[in-house]
C-alpha cells in the first residue's frame, strides 16, 4: 500500500520550497565546509533556528554525489524519503499492533498513511518525516522491556529527534517523566542527564552565535530582527506578540496566557482534523450529497463538520487519558508535551504540520478510546446502548476513511500540479508536487527568468528567499515586516535590494508582502519599475530604478504611448 501511494510520485527532486529550501541551503554550506550558514543571506550568516541533523543528511548526499545541484541531489533525497516512509509505515504498524488487535492496528496505519498531510510532508524536505520515524522507534524501544539494548536505542532516538527538530524536547521530557511516574528516580536522573546534553549543546551554540560580532553588527539593519524568523532563534521569534506584526511589540505574560487559552479552545477541532482531514474537506464532501444546496444547508453543514471534527478530537484526548494509566504511558506523555509546546505558538495555521509526526499516536488514542467506550457500554449499558456502542467504532473509522480518500482524490485533481524546472546544465526536469497551482508555477517561471537577468552581486527580496536562491543563485532576503512604507523603504535600501518579487502564492510572507511591501512600491513608484509580469498576472518582478533602468523606463513609457 505504501509503495502504491508513492509510485506516481517518484520522479524529480524532493520539494524544496518553504523551509525545505532552508534545510537544503544549510546542507550545502556544510558540504562546502563553510559551517552552519545561510548561504542565501548577505554575509552568509550563521543559522540558529533549526537543529543541524537534517541539513547534515543533505550534506552527506552532496558529498556522495559530488554536486549541490538541487535537481540531482533532490531526486536522491526524494528516493531516500520514500524508503524512510516505508520504514515509518512498518514501524507505525508495529507500534499500533502492540496496543491494539491486529485488524485495528492495520486500519490505524491506513488512516495514518491516507492523511493528505502524511503524503504531502513525505515528499517535502522538512524534518517532519524523519522526526516521526525516530519518535515511533523511540516509543517502541521504550515500551518494550526485557532488553538491555532497548534503553540505549531509545536514548539515541530521543537525541536524534531533538537534533531534527527543537520540538524533540517533548520526547526528552516524556522519556524522563515516564521514569518519574514509575518512581524510578535513579533512572529518571540518568535519563535527565542524557536528555540535557543535546539541549545544552544546541543552546550553547545559539548563545555563542548571538554573542558574536557578526550577530550584533549584521550585514543589513533588520537581518537579525526578531520577526525575521529564519535568521533568529525560536525564543526570539516567539517573544513577539505577533511575529507578522512586529509593531505590536513584545508579548507580555498576559498575552501568552491569552494565546494559550485561545489555542486550548481550538485544540479538539485541530486534533480531529489531524486524524481525518481539514474541516474544509468535510464541507466539500457534504456539499456533494443530494439536496446540499442553499444558505441554510451551508450553515448547517458548517455546524455538522465543526461538531464532527471536534468530536474526533475529544475522542483523541480521551484516548490519551486512557493511555496515561496503561503501558502506552510514554507515548501519552509525549503527545501531552507536544500539545503544551504547540499551545505556546502563535501560528495556528501551522498546527496541521505539527500534528503530522504524531499521527500514529493520535490515531492510536482515537481507536483506544472507541474500544474503551464499547467495552464500558457493553458491560454496563442497556441493549440499545450496546448496539450504538457496537456500531460506533466501525462507523467512525468508515467516515474517517471516506473523508481521507475524498480529500486525497480532490488534492490530486486540484492542488497537485506539474512542475518544469531546469538543472545546472539547463536541461528541463519534469515532475509533480502537492500544493503546486497557478501562482506557484508563475513564481518559478519568474525566478528562472530572473536567473538569466540578475548579476551575482544583486539581492532579491521575496517571500521564499531560500527557494529563490536555489533557482536564481543570487543573494535573497525576506522583506522587512514594517507597516510604515517609508521605514520599509529605508530598510530595503540598506540591504540593498535590487529586485522585489511579488507573488500570489498561499505563503504567509507572500500575504504579508501584498499588505506591506506593496505599499512601498506604490509610495515609491518613482524608485521601482515593474519589469516582469506572469502570464496571468499572478507574479510581478520590480527593479530598483538606477540611471540605467531610468532610461529603460523612459523607453517603456514612450513605446506604451
User: Sign (positive/negative) of CA torsion 366, 400, 407, 433?
Assistant: positive
What is the reported pLDDT for 497?
Answer: 96
- In DSSP terms, 459 is beta-bridged to 475
Instruction: Give the span between the Cα atoms of 275 and 510, in whole angstroms.
Output: 29
Longest Cα–Cα distance of the chain, Å, equals 87
Under 8 Å between Cβ of 482 and 476: no
CA 555 to each of CA 453, 454, 549: distance values in angstroms, whole numbers, following the listed order: 18, 20, 10
How do strand 459-461 and strand 499-503 relate by DSSP bridges? Answer: parallel
- How many C-alpha atoms does 549 have within 13 Å on its Cβ side? 13
Which residue shows C-alpha cell 523551509? 19
Reported as a single tens digit per residue, the pLDDT across 544-557 is 987 555 555 444 44
Q: Which domains does the chain have, with CATH numbers?
A: 2-219+252-414 (no CATH), 437-560 (3.40.50)
Reported as a single tens digit per residue, the pLDDT across 478-488 is 999 998 989 99
DSSP 176-209: HHHHHHTT-HHHHHHHHHHHHHHHHHHHHHHHHH
Q: Is the pTM of this model over 0.85?
A: yes
Grouping H, G, I as helix, E, B as strand and the rest as coil, residue 484 is: coil
What is the reported pLDDT for 325?
Answer: 72
Please tell me what DSSP assigns to residue 345: -
What is the reported pLDDT for 561?
Answer: 36
Which residue shows C-alpha cell 490530486? 412
Instruction: Give the span between the Cα atoms of 330 and 336, in whole angstroms.
Output: 10
331 contact partners, CB below 8 Å, separation of at least 6: 95, 139, 143, 174, 323, 361, 364
521 contact partners, CB below 8 Å, separation of at least 6: 500, 502, 528, 542
Under 8 Å between Cβ of 459 and 445: no
Q: pLDDT tens, position by position, for the chain (561 residues)? A: 666 667 778 889 999 999 999 999 999 999 999 999 999 999 999 999 999 999 999 999 999 999 999 999 999 999 999 999 999 999 999 999 999 999 999 999 999 999 999 999 999 999 999 999 999 999 998 876 656 778 889 899 999 999 999 999 999 999 999 888 888 889 899 999 999 999 999 999 999 999 999 999 999 999 999 999 999 999 999 999 998 889 889 999 999 999 999 999 999 999 999 999 999 999 888 887 766 665 555 566 678 889 999 999 999 999 999 987 777 788 899 999 999 999 999 888 889 999 999 999 999 999 999 998 887 765 556 666 666 667 888 899 999 999 999 999 999 999 999 999 998 888 999 999 999 999 999 999 999 999 999 999 999 999 999 999 999 999 999 999 998 989 999 999 999 999 999 999 999 999 999 989 999 998 877 899 999 999 999 999 999 987 555 555 444 443 333
CA 245 to each of CA 86, 228, 347: distance values in angstroms, whole numbers, following the listed order: 41, 11, 13
Instruction: Give the span between the Cα atoms of 59 and 81, in whole angstroms.
Output: 15
Instruction: Give the span between the Cα atoms of 130 and 186, in whole angstroms.
Output: 31
Asked, as a colleague might, if the bond just before 496 is cis with ω within 30 of 0, I would say yes
Amino acid at each position: 500500500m505504501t509503495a502504491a501511494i508513492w509510485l506516481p510520485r517518484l520522479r524529480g527532486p524532493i520539494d524544496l520550497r518553504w523551509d525545505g529550501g532552508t534545510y537544503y541551503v544549510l546542507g550545502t554550506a556544510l558540504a562546502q565546509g563553510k559551517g552552519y550558514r545561510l548561504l542565501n543571506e548577505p554575509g552568509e550568516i550563521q543559522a540558529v533556528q533549526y537543529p543541524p541533523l537534517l541539513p547534515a543528511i543533505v550534506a552527506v548526499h552532496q558529498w556522495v554525489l559530488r554536486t549541490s545541484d538541487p535537481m540531482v541531489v533532490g531526486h536522491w533525497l526524494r528516493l531516500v524519503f520514500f524508503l524512510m516512509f516505508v520504514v515509518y509505515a512498518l514501524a507505525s504498524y508495529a507500534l499500533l499492533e502492540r496496543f491494539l488487535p491486529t485488524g485495528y492496528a492495520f486500519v490505524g496505519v491506513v488512516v495514518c498513511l491516507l492523511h493528505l498531510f502524511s503524503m504531502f510532508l513525505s515528499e517535502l524536505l522538512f524534518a517532519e518525516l524523519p522526526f516521526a520515524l525516530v519518535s515511533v522507534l523511540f516509543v517502541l524501544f521504550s515500551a518494550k522491556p526485557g532488553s538491555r539494548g532497548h534503553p540505549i536505542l531509545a536514548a539515541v532516538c530521543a537525541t536524534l529527534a531533538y537534533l531534527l527538530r527543537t520540538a524533540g524536547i517533548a520526547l526528552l521530557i516524556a522519556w524522563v517523566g515516564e521514569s518519574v511516574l514509575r518512581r524510578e528516580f535513579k533512572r529518571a536522573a540518568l535519563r535527565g542527564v542524557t536528555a540535557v546534553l543535546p539541549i545544552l549543546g544546541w543552546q550553547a551554540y545559539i548563545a555563542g552565535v548571538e554573542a558574536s560580532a557578526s550577530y550584533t553588527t549584521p550585514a543589513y539593519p533588520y537581518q537579525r530582527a526578531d520577526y525575521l524568523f529564519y535568521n533568529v532563534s525560536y525564543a526570539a521569534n516567539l517573544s513577539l506578540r505577533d511575529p507578522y506584526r512586529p509593531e505590536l511589540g513584545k508579548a507580555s505574560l498576559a498575552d501568552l496566557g491569552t494565546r494559550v487559552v485561545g489555542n486550548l479552545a481550538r485544540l479538539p477541532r485541530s486534533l480531529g482534523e489531524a486524524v481525518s482531514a481539514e474541516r474544509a474537506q468535510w464541507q466539500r464532501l457534504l456539499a456533494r450529497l443530494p439536496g446540499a444546496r442553499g444558505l441554510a444547508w451551508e450553515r448547517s453543514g458548517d455546524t455538522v463538520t465543526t461538531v464532527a471534527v471536534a468530536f474526533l478530537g475529544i475522542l483523541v484526548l480521551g484516548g490519551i487519558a486512557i493511555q496515561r494509566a496503561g503501558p502506552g504511558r510514554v507515548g501519552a506523555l509525549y503527545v501531552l508535551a507536544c500539545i503544551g509546546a504547540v499551545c505556546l505558538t502563535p501560528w495556528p495555521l501551522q498546527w496541521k504540520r505539527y500534528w503530522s509526526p504524531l499521527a500514529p499516536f493520535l490515531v492510536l488514542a482515537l481507536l483506544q478510546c472507541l474500544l474503551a467506550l464499547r467495552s464500558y457500554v457493553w458491560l454496563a449499558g442497556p441493549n440499545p446502548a450496546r448496539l450504538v456502542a457496537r456500531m460506533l467504532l466501525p462507523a467512525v473509522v468508515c467516515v474517517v476513511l471516506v473523508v481521507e480518500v475524498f480529500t486525497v482524490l480532490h488534492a490530486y485533481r486540484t492542488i497537485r500540479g506539474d512542475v518544469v524546472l531546469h538543472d545546472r546544465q539547463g536541461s528541463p526536469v519534469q515532475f509533480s508536487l502537492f500544493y503546486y497551482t497557478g501562482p506557484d508555477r508563475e513564481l518559478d517561471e519568474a525566478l528562472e527568468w530572473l536567473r538569466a537577468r540578475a548579476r551575482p552581486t544583486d539581492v532579491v527580496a521575496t517571500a521564499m528567499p531560500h527557494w529563490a536562491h536555489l533557482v536564481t543563485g543570487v543573494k535573497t532576503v525576506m522583506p522587512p515586516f514594517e507597516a510604515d512604507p517609508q521605514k520599509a523603504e529605508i530598510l530595503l535600501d540598506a540591504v540593498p535590494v535590487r529586485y522585489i518579487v511579488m507573488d500570489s502564492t498561499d505563503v504567509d510572507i507572500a500575504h504579508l508582502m501584498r499588505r506591506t511591501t506593496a505599499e512601498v512600491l506604490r509610495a515609491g513608484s518613482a524608485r521601482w519599475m515593474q519589469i516582469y509580469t506572469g502570464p496571468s498576472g499572478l507574479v510581478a518582478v520590480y527593479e530598483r530604478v538606477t540611471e540605467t533602468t531610468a532610461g529603460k523606463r523612459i523607453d517603456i513609457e514612450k513605446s506604451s504611448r
